[in-house]
Amino acid sequence: MNELIFDEIEQTADYLKLSINAQEIADVIIKNKYDEGQTLAISGFLKYLKAKRHENLVNMLRKMSRIPLKNPKTFENYDFSRINGENVDALTELSSLSSLYAHRNLAFIGPQGVGKTHGCFLM
């Protein structure tokens, strides 16, 4: 059997925090008379567990980081047709940032509770 498979299983087991080395893995395989297919199945299963653990870890860290899990509003995906009023054109031109480069003050005035104070647009 290929020695690399034992090292690969050892590395995966180490990631999963299983205290087993390549020699112990080889001893178990010889003792139980596993063929190469069964050894590859064990390796594949451990790789699956490693990928699942990594995915769970990433999801947990994303939730704990308080990064928004849904897509944020950007100038490209915002529906400006919902906005009505006198200066609608000024809002649609906001994505060019020309007002900011001209050092003009911008004020968002509207009803309470619609998220004006929370940087609602991302570049």
* Least reliable range by pLDDT among 34-48, 57-71, 105-119: 105-119
CA 82 to chain centroid, in Å, comes to 31
Place of tokens 């769970």: 56
Q: Quick check: pTM over 0.95?
A: no
Q: What is the pLDDT of residue 114?
A: 61
pLDDT value for 123:
38
Domain ranges (residues) in the chain: 3-64, 71-123
Per-residue confidence (pLDDT) for residue 12, from 0 to 100: 92
Q: Would you call 90 helix, strand, or coil by DSSP?
A: helix
Higher pLDDT, 110 or 40: 40
| Higher-confidence position of 116 and 106 | 106
**Residue range 50-102, pLDDT digits in tens:** 999 999 999 899 888 877 777 777 777 777 777 777 777 777 777 777 877 88
Over pLDDT 90: what percentage of the chain?
A: 35
Q: Is 57 left (phi over 0), alpha (psi -120 to 50) or beta?
A: alpha
Q: For residues 10-22, give the mean pLDDT.
A: 91
